[in-house]
Amino acid sequence: MRTIIFRTIAPYLTALMVLFSIFVLLRGHNEPGGGFIGGLIAASALAIFGIACGVASVRRAIVFHPMSVAGFGLFIGALAGTLSFFKDQAFMTSQWLIFHIFDAEIALSTPLIFDIGVYLVVVGAIGSIALALEEREVD
């Protein structure tokens, strides 16, 4: 699979896919998209990069073990639900911060944090499976 064309294109393709996955994640609340789909796109980006340039370089590029990424996603997903504590509301009641910069409406919210958690979980879990499978037996 490591043809020269594939190997040359793969980094750009991966970068674009990751960027696109973040775009899909962020627009998810209003347009088709969201953390789950974004996570799947990013996971396939990792898989492509792994097939083209080897698993070792993917692992170097993402710094953390993908399973830690997934664990962290679960953590902030749960954490997003606890913020309502400070406003005396039940667990996972969504909280919104909406402000305007240059006529654009920026909405920060706990569902967004939660969605980022979902994204990280999917990238981490699927990515770690794909990477583990791509890794040849190295005994």
Partner 1 sequence: MTPVVIDDTTLYAVLAPFAAAVVAPILTRWFKHNAAWPLAIVPALIFLHFAGFVGPVSEGKSFIAAKSWAPSYGINFSVYVDGLSTLFAMLISGIGTFIILYAGGYLKGHPQQGRFFSFLFMFMGSMLGLVLGNNLISLFIFWELTSVTSFLLIGFDHLRAASRRAAIQALVVTGGGGLALLAGFILIISATGEIEMSALLGSPEIIKNSGLYLPIFLLVLAGAFTKSAQFPFHFWLPNAMEAPTPVSAYLHSATMVKAGVYLLMRMQPVLGGTELWTTVLPLFGGITLLVGTILAVRQTDLKLMLAYTTVASLGLLVMLTGTSEVKALEGAVLYLLAHSLFKGALFMVAGTIDHEAGTRDITKLGGLRSAMPITFVAACLAALSMAGLPPFIGFVAKEVLYYGTWGWLEFWGLPLTLTALVGNALMFVIAAAVALKPFLGPKIETPKHAHEGPVLLFAGPVVLSVLGLGLALFTHTTGELLIAPTLASVSGTFVELDLHLWPTYIFGNVALYLSLITIGLGVILFTQINKLRNLIGLVLTAIGWGPDKGFDQFVAGIVGFSSWLTRRLQTGKMQTYMLVIFGFTALAVLVPAFLSNSLPAIPKVPDYRFYEWGILLIAVLGLIAVLIAKTRLTAIVSLGIQGFAVALIFMMFGAPDLAFTQFMVETLSVVILALVMTRLNLSPRDHRHAGNAVITGVVAAAVGLGLMLTLLAITQQPFDSRLSDFFTEYSRSIAHGRNIVNVILVDFRGFDTLGEIAVVVLAGLCVLALIRVRTKPDIPDETSSNETTQTQTAEAR
CA distances (Å), 76 to each of 14, 104, 116, 121, in order? 25, 27, 8, 10
Enumerate the H helices of 28-109 as residue ranges.
35-53, 55-62, 66-82
Site for partner 1 in 98-127 (CB under 8 A): 98, 107, 109, 111-112, 114-115, 117-118, 121-122, 124-126
Specify burial of residue 39 (Cβ count, 10 A radius: 0-12, 13-18, 19+).
buried
Q: If binding is defined by CB under 8 A, does position 36 make contact with partner 1?
A: yes
Q: Which of 10, 14, 33, 52 binds partner 1 (CB under 8 A)?
A: 33
Judged by beta carbon, residue 57 or residue 95, the one nearer partner 1 is 95
Number of residues interacting with partner 1: please give it, by CB under 8 A.
Answer: 54
Binding string, residues 44-83; x marks residues near partner 1 by CB under 8 A: x--x-------------------x--xx-xx--xx--x--
Our finding on whether 20 is near partner 1 (CB under 8 A) is no
Question: Whose CA is closest to 46, among 70, 24, 18, 26?
Answer: 18
Q: Decide if residue 95 touches partner 1 (CB under 8 A).
A: no
* Exposure string over 107-139, b if 16+ CB within 10 A, otherwise e: eebbbbbbbbbbbbbbbbbbbbebbeebeeeee
In three-state secondary structure terms, 93 is coil
Q: Could you list the residues that contact partner 1 (CB under 8 A)?
A: 24, 28-37, 40-41, 43-44, 47, 67, 70-71, 73-74, 77-78, 81, 85, 88-92, 94, 96, 98, 107, 109, 111-112, 114-115, 117-118, 121-122, 124-126, 128-130, 132-134, 137, 139
